[in-house]
Amino acid sequence: MAMDSPNISPGAPLASTALSGHEVRFGFDNTYARLPDRFYARLDPKPVTTPRLVKVNAELAEKLRLNPDALKSEHGVAVLAGNCVAEGAEPLAQAYAGHQFGSFVPQLGDGRANLLGEVVGRDGVRYDVQLKGSGRTPFSRGGDGRAALGPVLREYIVSEAMAALSVPTTRALAAVTTGERVLRDTALPGAVLTRVAASHLRVGTFQYFAARRDTESLRVLADYTIGRHYPEAAQAKQPYRTLLEGVITRQAKLVAQWMLLGFIHGVMNTDNTSISGETIDYGPCAFLEAYDPAKVFSSIDRGGRYAYSNQPRAAAWNLARLAEALLPVLALEAGSEDGAIELANEALAAFEPQFEAARLAGLRCKLGLFTEHEGDAALAEDLLKRMGDNEADFTLTFRRLCDAAIENKGDACVRTLFADPAAYDGWAAGWRRRMEAEGGDGQARAAAMRKVNPLIIPRNHLVEESLTAASERQDFQPFEALLEAVSRPFEESVGLERYATPARPEELVHATFCGT
Ligand code: AMP
Ligand code: MG
C-alpha cells in the first residue's frame, strides 16, 4: 500500500466559508498548527452530501464557551459535518506512528480525523476540537476516511459515561449523520463525531519522530507537551525525565480507574495511548457484566492481548515504548545513552507500585473502608475471586454493597448476584468484622460508597440496542435515553431501572467491533 507524503500542502490557503447570521464562533487559538510542517498535513475536512444533526452536547459546549444553539443552526451543523470551515480553524491531520497489537507501524496518523483547532475552556484548560470521520487524508492508507453511525454513537455514549464517572477522557461535543453510506461488512449510514480532547498527543506521536531518528522534532514535541500538559516539568532539573514520569503516573491512575469500573478499552495500541492521561479512542470498548478477569469483547483481539486483567501490563508496555522513543532527549539530560536508559528504567519501575496503590485505594473506597489495614488487599481480592467464580455482576455487586454496609438486611440483594449465594456470605462476615474494627456511621459509609460505585454503566446490550435503532430505523430515542441515563451514573431514579439491570442471558453481547 503506497503511503502519501504527510505534507501535501504545507501553508496552503485555508478555505473559509463562514456565513453571516447564526454563526458558531469557536474563538480558536491554535498552537499545534504553529509546530513545524512535519508534524501534520494541512487540509480541510471533506464535505458530505446531506448533513443532519444527531446531537449537540450543550453542557460541554457551554464549558467551551460555545453557544449550543449556534452549533445546532444550519451553519453549526455544516461546521460539524466538515462542510464549512469555521472562522479561525486551521484544519490539519496529525502525524503519528504506533504499535498495533505489538507490531510497529511507522506511519499511521489521522486517516479519518481533522483537528479544527484549539479552544480554551471556561476552566482555563486548552482543548482540541477534532472531527472524526471527516474524509480521507494523506494518512488514510487504504481507508475511506469515514466513520459509521454505530461506532460514532458508541464513542459518544461511552466517552460521556466515562466523563460522568470522573474518568479522564476525551469527550463528544456533537454527532451528525452525513447522508452517505460507508461500506464495511455491509453498507452503513455515515456519521461524523466532534471529539474534544485535552490534546491528541499520543505515545505514537513520539514514536513517529523516534522512528525517523529526528531528535530535533522529538525535542520540539517534548517541549510542546511539557508546556501544554506538564508545565511543572519545565522547572524540574531534568524536564524530559519529569515528563516521562508524569505520563507514567497519569496512565497508572487512569488504568486503575478503568479496572475499578470494569472498563475494557479493547484496543490499547500505542497510538491510542494519550500523553495527557485521558481515555482515548473508543473502538471495541465495553464494560464487564459478570466479573471475569480474562474477559475480551473486541472481535479483533483474538489473542486476548487487551483482556480486562491484562490492561495494566499493556499500559506498562506502551509506556516502555514511550520511554524508548524519548531516549534521544533523555540522553541530553543524562549525558549519555546508557544514562538515558537508566533514567528510563527508573521511571518505568514506578508504574506498577503507582498502579497498585491507586487500585488498592480505589478498592478501599468501593468497600467503604476509610482507614488502611494490612489485610485490605486480600479482603478485596477474595471478593473478586468469589465474584469471578460465581459470575456476579461487577457493577451491581459493588453498588448493592452500599446498602449491605448499613445493615445485614442489605445482604439479601447482594447474595442473589452470586451463583452460589453462600460464596458471598463467606466473604461478608470478614468484611463486617473489618468495618466494625474501623467504626463509623453506616449511613455515612453507604453515602460515600454510592459516590464511587455507579448504579448505571453503559451496558453492552443497551448500547447495541441504541446503535441498531439509530442505524437501522433512524430511531434516536434509545440513544437519547441511554445517554441521559449514563450521564447520571450514581443517582437512583425512578424509571431508570432498566438501565441498571444486567442483560438476560439471551441479551448478552459477546463481541464488539472496531468499526473502522
Ligand atoms: P483506530 O483503530 O481507530 O485507532 O485507527 C488506527 C489507524 O487507522 C489510525 O491511523 C486511523 O486514522 C486509521 N483509520 C481507521 N479507520 C480509518 C478509515 N475509515 N479511513 C482511514 N483511516 C482510518
Ligand atoms: Mg486510534
Nearest ligand to the CA of 132 is: 1
**DSSP state letters, 41-88:** EE-PPPP-SS-EEEEE-HHHHHHTT--HHHHHSHHHHHHHHTSSPPTT
Specify the DSSP element, H or E, that contains 327: helix 311-334
The number of the ligand 1 atom at minimal distance from the alpha carbon of 516 is 16
Q: What's the mean pLDDT in 354-363?
A: 98
The number of the ligand 1 atom at minimal distance from the alpha carbon of 145 is 20
- Residue 157 alpha carbon to ligand 1 centre in Å: 20
Taking only the tens place, the pLDDT of each residue in 177-228 is 999 999 999 999 999 999 999 999 999 999 999 999 999 999 999 999 999 9
Q: Given this model, what pLDDT does residue 413 score? A: 97
**Euclidean distance between CA atoms 490 and 479, whole angstroms:** 19
> HSE (CB half, 13 Å, CA atoms) of 336?
3
C-beta of 106 in contact with ligand 1 (< 6 A): no
**Euclidean distance between CA atoms 355 and 466, whole angstroms:** 34
**Euclidean distance between CA atoms 153 and 54, whole angstroms:** 9
Taking only the tens place, the pLDDT of each residue in 257-286 is 999 999 999 999 999 999 999 999 999 999
Identity at 106, one-letter amino acid code: P
pTM value? 0.95
Say which DSSP state 282 is in: -
C-beta of 281 in contact with ligand 1 (< 6 A): yes
Nearest residue by C-alpha to atom 13 in ligand 1: 111
C-beta of 180 in contact with ligand 1 (< 6 A): no
Active-site residue list? 271
- Residue 278 alpha carbon to ligand 2 centre in Å: 13
- Residue 99 alpha carbon to ligand 1 centre in Å: 13
C-beta of 145 in contact with ligand 1 (< 6 A): yes
- Residue 41 alpha carbon to ligand 1 centre in Å: 16
Identity at 261, one-letter amino acid code: L
Taking only the tens place, the pLDDT of each residue in 231-247 is 999 999 999 999 999 99
